[in-house]
Amino acid sequence: LDLGIKILSQNLCIGDRPYGSIKERSQRFAALLADRSPDIVGTQEGSFEWSTYLDDMEGYGAVGISSEGKRAKSGEWNMILYKKDRFVLMDSGNFWLSGTPNSSSHNPNSFASRVCTWAELFDTYTGRTVIMVNTRFDNSTEAVRMEQASILVRHLRSELGDRYTQCQ
């Protein structure tokens, strides 16, 4: 019996063009999930419309917010989906890859606000806890991406404390 975790990363492409409407792509995404049956999915470039669809995804729980803030209907969502029949959501959170990670913000040299979503999941198959981290680094410069990576590690250490250290 293989108790490994299958993880899928999927860029949803925020708009309708040139890849077809979100409604059309959501059907292809559902078919991909049915075919591959990932246990955990990290999505990038979602939209409010995508977030609504993903929140209602059959068999999956979902966490994540917009890069523009918790109640925003614009911006990009980086969501985490997890199979509800395998995992129990223990904790989750979001932070921005900027000098002010606790509020919707962006690095002055980046093109856009970048949010990181994390989820602490209890795996009922193995009895172990998994921390899934999902984000999208800026596409401006390597220096900005390196700074964002540094913020990500620092903030995870701070927010998750011992749980972060145990998962390395």
Beta carbons of 115 and 135 less than 8 angstroms apart: yes
Reported as type and span, the H/E element at residue 145 is helix 142-160
pTM of the shown model: 0.89
Specify the DSSP class assigned to residue 9: E
Q: What is the pLDDT along the chain (168 residues), one digit of tens a residue?
A: 566 999 999 999 876 667 778 888 888 999 999 999 999 999 999 888 888 888 888 899 999 999 998 888 888 889 999 999 999 999 999 999 988 888 888 778 888 889 999 999 999 999 999 999 999 998 888 998 999 999 999 888 888 777 655 554
Q: Is the backbone peptide bond immediately before 38 cis, with ω within 30 degrees of 0?
A: no
